[in-house]
Structure 1
């Protein structure tokens, strides 16, 4: 196995371990919500004027799937839709007070996980961080270009 394959395998392995390790606390604390719902809540809280198109692009999902997801969250009383006075066509989403509670639980769990893993990150130098971040950015840009080559409009899938 070459180094590129080792890096990809390493990324996958680390990611899968993080998901597995975090899963139990996440599921226990957020048992009434699916991962996709929690991440949708997080996106809406962190991004002003979230709409179906922005959510679909961010999650690499179809607009139909996002519409279904947001309808579930509205029904659960987690998010609400709104329109701007100057644009009556576009529908946006924001969290309700109940949604903000779910968001806070999720954020607190992430902080707890970061604290757990701090011992490793404290050992990483600025140069190492810069190198890793540079690689991740380059790889992400490469994947964006490959996705663009497919010429698939995720919104219409």
Structure 2
């Protein structure tokens, strides 16, 4: 196995191990909500003036899938849609108080996972962080370019 294959294998294993370890706590704390629902709630909380197009891009889903998901979230009273007075064509989304509660639980879980794993990050130097961020940035740019070419 060459270094590229080994690196990709290690990254996939790391990702799967994190998901496997976090999954029971996430499912318990956010019972009744799918991962996609929670992710869209998080994006609505983070992205200003968020609409279907922005949610689709942020979630790597189709606009059709996002439309279905947002309808479910509206029905569950976790989000609401709104329009601007000057633009009645575009529909935007914001969290309801119930949606904000789900997002707060999700963010608290992220924080607790970081705290749990703090010993790993405490040992890392600035240079190690910088090297990892450079690699991830280059790789993501490459993937974005490939995705753009497919469209």
Normalised by the size of structure 2, how large is the TM-score? Answer: 0.98
Q: What per-residue deviation string (whole Å, max 9, x for no partner) do you get for residues 95-127 of structure 1? A: 000000000000000000000011001111000
- 1:2-41 → structure 2 map (5 Å cutoff): 2-41=2-41
Equivalent residue number for residue 155 of structure 1:
none
Measure the CA separation in 2 of the matches of 1:45 and 1:22: 22
SS at match of 2:124: coil
**Root mean square deviation, CA, Å:** 0.6
Structure 1 residue ranges without an equivalent (≥5): 153-157
Equivalent residue number for residue 111 of structure 2:
111
Higher RCO (Cα < 8 Å, 6 or more apart): 1
Normalised by the size of structure 1, how large is the TM-score? Answer: 0.95
Equivalent residue number for residue 134 of structure 2:
134
SS at match of 1:36: helix
Runs of 4+ with deviation above 2 angstroms: none
Q: What per-residue deviation string (whole Å, max 9, x for no partner) do you get for residues 70-103 of structure 1? A: 0000000000000011111000000000000000
Moved more, 56-65 or 95-104: 56-65
SS at match of 1:128: helix
- Number of residue equivalences: 151
